[in-house]
Amino acid sequence: LGSAYFRRSETHKKRFIRGWPDIFKWLMAMQKYNVHLNYEKGALFWSIVEKVFDACIFVYEIPLVDADILEFAVRAWIGRRDEGNIDRYAGQPLIACLGQLRLGEELPEAELKIVALRLEKALDACDIDMYDLTSIIVTRLTEMMERNSKMNARPEEGILHHSGVMSFLMGLRWSWP
């Protein structure tokens, strides 16, 4: 479901908004209990997560600042490597949440500290810190650039995702507790 689907009818938007709490509960449960791994080694799940959060950005941005959703977004970003050493994750949830937290804007120091604390709590809940998150981003960027240079390919969308998150983190660097 893309933005055009929701633009066509206010009813479609309202249904999504009403269903969001249940959609999110199902996504969390599938991730928590590793049910998502039963379908294409998790690739299908992460693809759906990306699309759901895309729709959420367009239709219903308000819940993205919720602590549980931010924690889910961090867990989605962390993902996991499957037995074929393929990195399975979703970037859109974290990008959507960070966008909601208005990290790209000039914010007063007090607001930046609040945003940094929210993100720190989500990272703590996932047993990582800002340095671990940065390390994940650097590793993925390195792998993507190596893959692109070997294939003489256009930059992957993931490079933009990772670069976007890094720019958000850089905006927070002086506010980090």
pLDDT in tens, the chain (177 residues): 677 888 888 898 888 888 888 988 998 888 888 777 777 777 788 888 888 888 887 787 667 778 888 899 999 888 887 777 777 788 888 888 877 766 545 666 677 677 778 888 889 999 998 888 888 888 888 887 777 666 655 555 566 666 667 666 666 554 555
Please report, as a single letter, which amino acid is at residue 7: R
Could you tell me which residues are beta bridge partners of residue 81?
A: 87
d(CA 6, CA 31): 27
Structure pTM? 0.78
92 near 53, Cβ under 8 Å?
Answer: yes
Structure tokens at 41: 């080694």
CA distances (Å), origin 102, targets 2, 6, 64, 96, 168: 23, 24, 11, 10, 9
